[in-house]
């Protein structure tokens, strides 16, 4: 991923926070002359390995599963918040063009298949429990255990230790204080969830007048 130095985010905790908040990602794997791309939800176990380990599963009939079983090198692309930035918000709109602020995290590693039924059920359970935690009456796999056990043979699970991780946080770091202040002011007027998340990230870097904290 092309990342100019001022957008290069190397803080592991910040990178992992994006993965946890935006777990639905794109898995990309090159194998046997083919490029496989599959969108999947991932569970992050930050305690496994120096950078953490991802867990996920996909349908066995998906051709991508052959690449997973072969342990082919893979990249997982996580996309955080993204927002349009208008030149109108800068001090001199006539000397600027539109741009986009965004956050992306790329994880690189080799998947290790998980096919043993008990281990696969445990993997699925961790992913399910993570997201059911936000439900008023959480669903448990135990409620549908016989049905879930019949499905296990039709999926391939895997873990992917994060061998390398890249973070690109484009948050107006290359702009002047006054330009950043204008962007912050306009983002504060917008109630969209993605813009609010972007605003929170920027407020972690800058004061309301655009100065670095």
Q: Tell me, what's the pLDDT at 42?
A: 98
Q: Tell me, what's the pLDDT at 91?
A: 97
**123 touches 68 (CB < 8 A):** no
User: From CA 207, how far away is CA 202, in angstroms rounded?
Assistant: 9
User: From CA 18, how far away is CA 8, in angstroms rounded?
Assistant: 14
Q: Does residue 11 fall inside a structural domain?
A: yes
Q: Does residue 166 fall inside a structural domain?
A: yes
Domain extent, residue 119, equals 5-82+100-174
pLDDT in tens, 143-183: 988 898 888 999 999 999 999 999 999 999 999 999 999 99
pLDDT in tens, 20-40: 999 999 999 999 999 999 999
Q: Tell me, what's the pLDDT at 142?
A: 87
pLDDT at 58 exceeding the cut of 90: yes
Residue 131 CB coordination number (10 Å): 13
pLDDT in tens, 101-134: 999 999 999 999 999 999 999 999 999 999 999 9
Q: Does residue 127 fall inside a structural domain?
A: yes
**CATH code at 143?**
2.30.110.10
Q: Does residue 204 fall inside a structural domain?
A: no
pLDDT at 71 exceeding the cut of 90: yes
Q: Tell me, what's the pLDDT at 141?
A: 87
Q: Does residue 159 fall inside a structural domain?
A: yes
Q: Where are the beta strands (DSSP E) in 86-213?
A: 99-109, 111-114, 155-161, 164-170
Q: Does residue 188 fall inside a structural domain?
A: no
Residue 164 CB coordination number (10 Å): 10
Q: Does residue 181 fall inside a structural domain?
A: no
Q: Which helix (H) or strand (E) holds 84?
A: strand 74-85
Q: Tell me, what's the pLDDT at 59?
A: 97
Packing angle of the helix pair 177-189, 193-205 (nearest 10 deg): 150
Strand-by-strand arrangement of the 99-109 sheet: 34-41, 24-31, 74-85, 99-109, 164-170
Place of tokens 């669903």: 139
Residue 162's contacts (CB-CB under 8 Å, 6 or more residues apart) are 49, 51, 52, 53, 54, 107, 108, 109
Q: Tell me, what's the pLDDT at 145?
A: 86
Q: Tell me, what's the pLDDT at 151?
A: 87
Q: Does residue 156 fall inside a structural domain?
A: yes
Number of domains comprising the chain? 1
User: From CA 65, how far away is CA 4, in angstroms rounded?
Assistant: 34
């Amino acid at each position: 991923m092309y990342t100019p130095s001022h957008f290069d985010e190397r803080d592991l905790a910040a990178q992992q926070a994006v993965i946890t908040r935006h777990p639905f990602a794109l898995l990309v794997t090159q194998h046997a002359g083919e490029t496989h791309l599959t969108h999947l939800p991932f569970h992050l176990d930050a305690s496994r390995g120096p950078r953490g380990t991802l867990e996920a599963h996909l349908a066995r009939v998906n051709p991508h599963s052959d690449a997973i079983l072969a342990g082919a090198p893979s990249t997982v692309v996580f996309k955080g918040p993204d927002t349009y930035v208008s030149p109108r918000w800068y001090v001199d709109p006539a000397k600027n063009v539109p741009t986009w602020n965004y956050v992306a995290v790329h994880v690189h590693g080799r998947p290790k298949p998980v096919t043993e039924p008990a281990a696969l059920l445990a993997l699925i359970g961790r992913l399910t429990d993570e997201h059911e935690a936000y439900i008023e009456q959480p669903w448990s796999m135990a409620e549908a255990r016989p049905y879930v056990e019949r499905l296990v043979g039709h999926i391939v699970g895997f873990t992917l230790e994060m061998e390398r991780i890249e973070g690109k946080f484009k948050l107006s770091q290359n702009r002047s204080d006054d330009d950043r202040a204008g962007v912050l002011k306009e983002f504060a007027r917008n109630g969209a969830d993605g813009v609010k998340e972007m605003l929170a990230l920027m407020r972690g870097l800058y004061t309301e007048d655009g100065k670095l904290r």
